[in-house]
Structure 1
Amino acid sequence: MLVDAPFLDIKPPEIYTTNGNSVVDNKVQINSDRLFKVYYTTIPYADPQENGELYVEPIDLTSSLTVSSRASFLFDLFWSDTTSVDLVVGEDSIRFDESESLGSSISAISVVLNKSSYFSATFVSKKDLIVSGTTIGGEEVIITDYIFEPFELVEGLNTIEVRYLNLYSSIKVNVIPAKLMSMTAEYIGDEKHVDDEFTQSEFKVEGLFENGTSKEITGFEIELITFTESGTHDITVSYENHTASVMVEILPKEYLFGLASEMHTPTGSYVPKVYTEAWT
């Protein structure tokens, strides 16, 4: 008959690793009073009293596992309480998880993209990633409290690194230039008169791209023309296979005249007056 005997003060075994949290040359060590026998199991949710094997030497720790152990005394008539721990082996460290739900510790993660294509200058958020985890017990769960980088993708091949506690995963993303969908142009120069010339620096052009972003465009071309009549005129701005029309107001041409009566002012100085072509 198997008997639990807390009055005998059979202390539960202690579980630890022989090389701290290092992933190099590490083993699971189980310690108990030398008068007791120790049984253990690495099967999640299993009871070492019923399904365990006798512990005789440290256990190799090369992958994540659940270790449960109990000490027995007097021909296995008396048993200690169970000591259990999830040991999660990551890329650079081993994590001890003594949660009540053994085998529920996540031992591996994976990441997939939530979009089919990505464009340059795109910022990545958690809604773009689906990160899932596999527990030691083999269950699949969705992870939300992870961290990742980079946040902004550049043109070419990018690698998004995801980390959850001591576990890592990554995914490659090929980023393509976003196609220009439309553009707008604006005249930002000074007033123009008949026969004045236009320069490229007097225009501001902004493009709207297929990823929803907009940015200023340089390298566009304009019609290098002058207007011989005053009034409202259109100027065409072109970039790649897109064009935009800019409406400009052309003022009458200005002339400088010096009238004879103005050349002999009482002050002795002469300031030419400005007249437009409509002056008579």
Structure 2
Amino acid sequence: MNSPDTRGPERLEASNLFYREPALYDDVQSDSDSARICRELIDRHCPRARTLLDFGCGTGRNLEQLAPHFDCIGVDLQPGLVDYAHRTRPKVDIRLGDMRSVRLGQPFDVLACLGNSLAYVHENQDIRAVFRTFAAHSRPGTLLVLCGPVAPIEHTEPQEARVATRLGPAKVTIHYEWDLRTQINTLRRHWLFDSGEEARDAIRRRVLGPRELELYGTLSGFDVAEITNESDAGPLIGPSAYIVACYRG
């Protein structure tokens, strides 16, 4: 899932292989449970919800799974992802827009921001702008479901994984970097496909701790109801979490 940092959509596309190859994102995330977890959290906290707006919807994969249950709209900053979503998921309403400034002129029952989308917004003033956008599409009782990193990944050794994609099997090697001053967790990836083709990219994510997220929410009119690793309540262990908040107005 994708949303803005201060570098703009062109530089983001150059830095992230998924932005250049949207089908690859769908392949790698094919086993993601985000849509299911999101729906279970909605059922728990706002069971009568009928409308949903997804910020940073990317290829529309989660929206496609949520659309049978809600009247959905998705917004994403990346033109390439939006074009891909229009071609592959034409029945899903996906629009080009920046979550810092987009205004659709109507409130929704549920606002979703999944797949680390908020983590691509790095600066404090931009994060505040995103929460103002959330508030602008809310009415009292609107539910906000966020998913993002709440703690850094700090592996000292590179991590390797095998992934199956429509471009062929690949070995992905990831190096992690953590900058405490900026709270940016950088993932540098080297893709080596069995065909011999190689690619490199870098993902930069802002890590916001639970108390920070509560503060941003409170200042924008949202009361946090739950912070959980998945849809089942339990001790928060990170590095990612789902944050559920209700708009008080």
Q: Please tell me the TM-score bracket, short chain as reference.
A: under 0.3
Task: State the TM-score, normalizing by the size of structure 2.
Answer: 0.18
Which has the higher Rg, Structure 1 or Structure 2?
Answer: 1
Query: Which of 1 and 2 has higher RCO (CA within 8 Å, sep 6+)?
Result: 2
Task: State the TM-score, normalizing by the size of structure 1.
Answer: 0.16
